Structure 1
């Protein structure tokens, strides 16, 4: 890409304004469940539940809460506390929890770097696609460990944007990838586009011994029309629309580049041969 393309722009923080986000864009977030986003955690969660059905689980950076609600369904005698730094998402998260029939769940605002809980409070502390958006991943993991009970688990799954591959390899899709990568690295003062591959290193820096950590990998893949509509629709309605687009333009991203990206995503959604995959890194840390 030319030097003046989107990847070279220095964007300010671009957290999504949910009041300005089309409802159609929600599906990219609300399709996430414990089953399709935290499968690596579920066997260990079942073991904890077998030993003590009243599992206390904290979901950090819960967003719309679909993962939180489906985790709550798996521990009916336990309780899920879902926190997010953006209080504006809580009303929607409550609606999602109700739609799943999850009553053993509560929501509140909270920052992963300063969780509003005492030491040794939870049996499980979980986050999904959260560490990538901050600049102190090790500190965040230490804070998650702080509020975890001895013998409990910290679980994290993070995408590795730098591993993303797609077809067809059109110039517009390359620009869209570079733009998405830029949004990640600009978010929260400096996110990380290679989080998935660095999770184990961050976990070790946070203090646990290697024997306490179980790393794993999985893959996001978008190959079927419904999945492509959901993922591509998220890019069209969140990353390339509304106030995120406005801030990108103010930061110097060209309107014509953004329009080219939109057309590339639309073509990608419609093409039968279009696919996209991204590696996901995972860690389970036993405290």
Structure 2
């Protein structure tokens, strides 16, 4: 029987504007909920590591251990490896692979985690079960997922509501669940976990620098990333629709009172 492979399409893709956004992520600002559980000699697997900024940060928490960053889109891994080399991080490696069918044996890792990944896959319960399989008894499976349906911003521009609605349609057309945060704990229980600790944190962009960074990212992503390509190819939007959304993000970013909150649910599951 052929190994199970991913059925969904990654909504954001790896356009330069997306990679720049993801490269902002660190262990502290993205998986702070997991850090207290880490021990210096742990063996860790980071699912969907992207450009590797979180993975490389986590390596410093396990100086006598090792972390592997796994990414389905292998092209981005050259950037991750270069960053690790630049920072002199050696207890790390990056591999290409599909988390629906991991190439590791049962009970291999102390911790397996993913960040903003399960919302983009066709079978999140199955992926969590696979993460559980390769985790040692007593080990941890952790995840953090946003919930696009409860993003909140000011000023409340109509064009940004159009963006939110369109993002939902595009993500679902791609086979994902954009409101993953609210069901993350339920997915974990369906995957066979009985010990599921839940929490919720958010990113908040309100300083001029953060607002400019987020605004400029979506000004470009709205018209040039895989999000835009999918929207047009499947008749979910016209180029004019996407341009209006891009302009809305630009207008938002120029408002001195601009503010946005992005909540994410978190789970820490112990394998019995």
Relative to the length of structure 2, the TM-score reads 0.91
Q: 1:247 to 1:133 in 2, by over 3 A?
A: closer
**How many pairs does the alignment contain?**
263
Alpha-carbon displacement from aligned partner over 1:67-123 (angstroms, at most 9, x marks no partner): 000001211111111001111111111122234332211011111211111100000
Alignment correspondent of 1:164 = 151
Q: 1:41 aligns with which of 34, 44, 48?
A: 34
**Alignment gaps of 5+ in structure 2:** 1-7
Relative to the length of structure 1, the TM-score reads 0.86
Q: 2:87 aligns with which of 78, 81, 100?
A: 100
On the 8 A contact 2:181/2:266 being kept in 1, the answer is yes
**1:1-287 matched pairs, under 5 angstroms:** 13=9, 15-16=11-12, 18=14, 21-22=15-16, 25-45=18-38, 49=39, 53-187=40-174, 190-209=175-194, 212-242=195-225, 244-252=227-235, 253-287=237-271
On the 8 A contact 2:223/2:239 being kept in 1, the answer is no
Q: 1:99 to 1:132 in 2, by over 3 A?
A: same
1 or 2, which has the higher helix percentage? 1
CA distance in 2, matches of 1:55, 1:270: 45
- Offset at 1:262? 0.8
CA distance in 1, matches of 2:227, 2:137: 41
Alpha-carbon displacement from aligned partner over 1:24-76 (angstroms, at most 9, x marks no partner): 5533100101111001001111xxx1xxx321000001111100000012111
Alpha-carbon displacement from aligned partner over 1:180-231 (angstroms, at most 9, x marks no partner): 22332233xx11122111111111111121xx21111111211112222222
Q: Which runs of 4+ in 1 moved over 6 A?
A: none
**Alignment gaps of 5+ in structure 1:** 1-11
Calculate the aligned-residue CA RMSD, in Å. 1.8
Alpha-carbon displacement from aligned partner over 1:250-279 (angstroms, at most 9, x marks no partner): 322112211111111111112111111122
Q: 1:155 to 1:242 in 2, by over 3 A?
A: closer
- Offset at 1:171? 1.7
